[in-house]
Structure 1
Amino acid sequence: MRLRPPLKVALAETVDALPREPGLAYEPKFDGHRMVVFREGRGDREDREGGGVVLQARSGRIVTAAFPDLAAAARELPDGTVLDGEVVVWRDGRIDFAAVQGRAFATPGRAPALARRLPASYAAFDVLAADGADLRPLRYTARRERLVELLAGLGPPIQAVPMTTDPEVAAAWYETLPAIGVEGLVVKRLDQPYKAGRRAWRKLRHTDTWDAVVVGFTGAQERPASLVLVLPDDDTPVVSSPLPAALRARAGAALRDLAPGEPGTAMAVGIGEVPYRSVPPRLMAEVETGTTRHTVTTVLRLKDTS
């Protein structure tokens, strides 16, 4: 049975030290836009926008039209292939998270121009299906071998992420890769199947803070009550905890020149779905996430990327 969108993706839990037990694989963690790539078989009904390719975000949202460059590259994959990975945009030798989020939320009309100005790369770290067969029950080592085989002749912009089983190499990556915007590692067991929707992997990051893209606000634009944010590796907007008074004033000043867009709803901890006004993804915030009963996202400061 062929895999179809939407698919739940495997997740990772945070650890505070590099795991070193036997039987582990280590991969750089690219903070970008999580994406599942479906290359439909020739006998399937072809997606009108992607020409046989469907691109799915972590939330299940179909983003094919936002990434015409990756859709075109994915047509070179064998029919019946499904990949899991991360979309990134490189600027001046570093990963630009705001740029990739701007692309992810682009309208179909703006997407081609953005693809030319900010070309995307796809860092594939798993293969979920090949030749139409579901590979998720296989151990990681078998899936990794098949992934490398599938992508060997393809080249950029779709490539397999680096992998090592040597913890000393992984430790060196952890110390050196932040220079290009790679802030951590993902650690996987070699004998583990792909566990969709479960936190079976582990991730190690340098900091407990994140750069998030501001995609909206609640309250008045000149003095917002909260910011609506998109975090790395996700595309589901979340509402921050209420902003303190001083930060409300700074946020209002930063939002002043951004024309509000369509209204939407996002999840606020302890409240549920709340309405918000969207803004173009040109403002970033440094945030921290803490967990009591639910995950709370707190804005620490604003980072203007315009």
Structure 2
Amino acid sequence: MEFPVDVALAELVPQLPTGPRWWYEVKLDGHRTIMWRTAETVRLQARSGRDVTPWWMDLAVAGMELPPGVVLDGEAVVVVGGKVSFGAAQSRASSSVPRARELAARYPALLIVWDLLALPTGDVRARPYEERRALMLDVLAGLPSPSPIQAVSATDDVEVAQAWYENLADAGIEGVVAKLGSSPYRAGRSSSWRKVRHAETTDSEVVGFTGTAARPRALAVRLPGGRTALSQRLGARLAMQLAEHLVRAAPAGPGRTDAGEPFTVVDPGLTVEVLAGTTRHAVVTVTRLR
């Protein structure tokens, strides 16, 4: 395996699947993070493939306890007041590195792990989910206790999963992910991984912006069906968070949406959530940076 790795993604569905060999995991509201324990150090990768180690250095230090060669997939989360806070995780990820370290001292992160991609003996992505999970639990059992690197809660009982979905939203549980026990770890979206979320949103790739990189007015996003559209005008807080990323990316020139609106093309490797109902419209509503 070479850094960065393409991550597996779940298909958004309206209800949990049932049947033999379906497993269910709580879906936490944080930042997707791949942890690479190399021979000498630890690297952390965002969903986009970007190296985000400096922003999550507390997790990188904890990862040094893993055997070299281990690669884990999970969610970096921050707990504030007993609740998983996406805002706290987002503040960490979108701040400067010195500020991120200040935030880490006040609110240490957890890496909630749900998959194992590699062992010291090699790549295990082709193995079934049930086997990878058992191997993952063995790896995590070898960490000192307590550790900020922890296994996600999982069950093969759909009634338990439904109870999680219905009762844990106030604790920062975003939804539930269902995975076939026989499924390999496959890059991209697959129907063998499905998610049910409380928010009616979908993920979209940022392909450009209007305004300036330091003060973006709107985003150009590529929707799941392939259409490119502009967002509504960004709120001040969201615009500031996005600017942190856009100013580091070199604009690639002019572009136009499917409806012909001009924008500045950029490839920062960003993903945002948009309201699902607005994806049918000429202008979509962005809710947050992923």
TM-score for the superposition, normalised by structure 1: 0.73
The residue correspondences of 1:265-304 to structure 2 (distance < 5 A) are 265=251, 270=258, 274=264, 287-289=274-276, 298-299=284-285
| 8 Å CA contact retained: 1:224, 1:251 | no
Question: What is the number of equivalent residue pairs in this alignment?
Answer: 265
Secondary structure in structure 2 of the residue aligned to 1:17: coil
Q: Distance in 1 between matches of 2:279 and 2:133?
A: 36
- Equivalent AA in structure 1 for residue 193 of structure 2: W
Change (3 A) 1:134 1:179: same
Secondary structure in structure 2 of the residue aligned to 1:185: strand
Secondary structure in structure 1 of the residue aligned to 2:97: coil
Superposed CA deviations along residues 1-60 of structure 1, whole A, max 9, x for unmatched, are: xx221100111111111111111000001121111100012xxxx3xxxxx101011111
1:232 maps to what in 2?
none
Q: Distance in 2 between matches of 1:288 and 1:219?
A: 22
1:218 maps to what in 2?
210
Identity of aligned residues (%): 44
Shift of 1:180: 0.5
Shift of 1:204: 0.7
1:195 paired to 2:172: no
Q: Distance in 1 between matches of 2:96 and 2:119?
A: 31
Superposed CA deviations along residues 116-137 of structure 1, whole A, max 9, x for unmatched, are: 0221111100000111411111
| 8 Å CA contact retained: 1:269, 1:296 | no
Secondary structure in structure 2 of the residue aligned to 1:16: coil
Secondary structure in structure 2 of the residue aligned to 1:156: coil
Structure 1: gaps (5+ residues):
47-51, 230-238, 279-284
Superposed CA deviations along residues 207-266 of structure 1, whole A, max 9, x for unmatched, are: 304799xxx973389x9742589xxxxxxxxx97342xxxx5x946x68999x7637459
1:172 maps to what in 2?
163
| 8 Å CA contact retained: 2:24, 2:177 | yes
Change (3 A) 1:144 1:255: closer
Change (3 A) 1:272 1:61: farther
Shift of 1:109: 2.7
Q: Distance in 2 between matches of 1:175 and 1:209?
A: 18
1:129 paired to 2:118: yes
TM-score for the superposition, normalised by structure 2: 0.77
- Equivalent AA in structure 1 for residue 122 of structure 2: A
Q: Distance in 2 between matches of 1:93 and 1:287?
A: 27
Q: Distance in 2 between matches of 1:219 and 1:171?
A: 44
| 8 Å CA contact retained: 2:216, 2:239 | no
Structure 2: gaps (5+ residues):
222-227
1:58 paired to 2:47: yes
The residue correspondences of 1:109-148 to structure 2 (distance < 5 A) are 109-148=98-137
Q: Distance in 2 between matches of 1:149 and 1:105?
A: 33
Change (3 A) 1:167 1:300: same
| 8 Å CA contact retained: 2:278, 2:285 | no
2:225 maps to what in 1?
none
CA RMSD of aligned residues (A): 3.8
Q: Distance in 1 between matches of 2:6 and 2:30?
A: 17
Higher helix share: 2
1:22 paired to 2:20: yes
